[in-house]
């Protein structure tokens, strides 16, 4: 069973998300928070697999709450009203596993929760790509390749394709290797770069200059 915590300051939004998730046999909502501080408290108490996190909340915003949850077993999927919200990109840098817009289809929401729970990232080509292309051009530090120094040439190839939002199977097809081998490369890259999921690999791919906005 995948456990989910809802963090949004609008009761109607939380009620709608709960209704969509609790109908699934493998998903259950274990708590609701109306601000970031309460989200952190409940995440510590309930240890959910996934938090659906709004960005703009009182007390403590979703960005800071996401940053404080980074590195824990709980995955964060940011839920935002706008598909080009600059704070969403910052949330990916802070450790979020992906994001959704609030008008996403119910199936997309359920898929996002399942993807995040299994330790993967929600990196579908659509709005995620547009957002990263828009804001990865303005990283907080000057771009450079130093951070990629631990990676082999093959790992850099895989990282570039991960940054396109490709799945392990799609990368395997391009590089003529099995999905299991691709997964091994991805896991090694995450260990070398000290990140915990593919979303952060994508951020590194852009910020290092390995992939440039507009290439995809």
185 in Cβ contact with 200 (< 8 Å): no
Alpha carbon distance 215, 7 (integer Å): 35
Judgement on whether residues 159 and 88 belong to the same structural domain of the protein: no
pLDDT band at 113 (very low <50, low <70, confident <90, very high): very high
The H or E element containing residue 29 is: strand 27-33
Judgement on whether residues 156 and 76 belong to the same structural domain of the protein: no
165 within a domain of the structure (yes/no):
yes
Judgement on whether residues 158 and 91 belong to the same structural domain of the protein: no
Question: CATH number of the domain that 202 lies in?
Answer: 1.10.10.10
Judgement on whether residues 115 and 154 belong to the same structural domain of the protein: no
77 in Cβ contact with 122 (< 8 Å): yes
Alpha carbon distance 216, 100 (integer Å): 20
Judgement on whether residues 183 and 93 belong to the same structural domain of the protein: no
Query: Would residue 58 be called left, alpha or beta, if left means φ above 0 and alpha means ψ between -120 and 50 degrees?
Result: beta
81 within a domain of the structure (yes/no):
yes
pLDDT in tens, 135-174: 555 555 444 557 888 999 999 999 988 887 788 888 999 9
Judgement on whether residues 158 and 86 belong to the same structural domain of the protein: no
For the chain, how many structural domains are there in total? 2
pLDDT in tens, 46-93: 999 999 999 888 889 888 999 899 878 899 998 877 655 566 677 777
31 within a domain of the structure (yes/no):
yes
pTM of the model: 0.71
- Cα end-to-end span (Å), the chain: 36
Judgement on whether residues 106 and 158 belong to the same structural domain of the protein: no
Beta bridge partners of 45: none
pLDDT in tens, 180-200: 999 899 989 988 998 877 777
Alpha carbon distance 89, 134 (integer Å): 9
79 within a domain of the structure (yes/no):
yes
Judgement on whether residues 100 and 199 belong to the same structural domain of the protein: no
Q: How many Cβ atoms from other residues are within 10 Å of residue 12's Cβ?
A: 8
128 within a domain of the structure (yes/no):
no
Task: Identify the domain containing residue 104 by its residue range.
Answer: 2-122
Judgement on whether residues 117 and 21 belong to the same structural domain of the protein: yes
Flag whether pLDDT at 123 surpasses 90. Answer: no
Judgement on whether residues 19 and 66 belong to the same structural domain of the protein: yes
The H or E element containing residue 83 is: none
28 within a domain of the structure (yes/no):
yes
36 within a domain of the structure (yes/no):
yes
> If you ran DSSP here, which 8-state letter would residue 122 be given?
B
């Amino acid at each position: 069973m995948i456990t989910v915590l809802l963090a949004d300051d609008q009761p109607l939004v939380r009620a709608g998300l709960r209704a969509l998730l609790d109908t699934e046999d493998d998903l259950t909502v274990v708590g609701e928070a109306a601000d970031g501080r309460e989200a952190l408290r409940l995440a510590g108490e309930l240890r959910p697999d996934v938090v659906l996190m709004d960005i703009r909340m009182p007390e403590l915003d979703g960005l800071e709450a996401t940053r404080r949850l980074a590195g824990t077993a709980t995955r964060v999927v940011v839920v935002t009203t706008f598909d080009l919200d600059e704070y969403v990109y910052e949330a990916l840098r802070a450790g979020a596993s992906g994001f959704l817009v609030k008008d996403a289809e119910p199936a997309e929401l359920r898929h996002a929760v399942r993807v995040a729970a299994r330790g993967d990232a929600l990196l579908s080509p659509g709005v995620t790509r547009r957002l990263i292309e828009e804001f990865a051009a303005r990283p907080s530090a000057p771009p450079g390749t130093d951070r990629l120094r631990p990676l082999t040439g093959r790992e850099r190839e895989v990282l570039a394709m991960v940054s396109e939002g490709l799945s392990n199977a799609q990368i395997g097809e391009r590089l003529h290797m099995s999905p299991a081998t691709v997964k091994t490369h991805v896991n090694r890259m995450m260990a070398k770069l000290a990140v915990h999921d593919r979303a952060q690999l994508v951020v590194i791919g852009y910020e290092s200059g390995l992939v440039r906005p507009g290439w995809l």
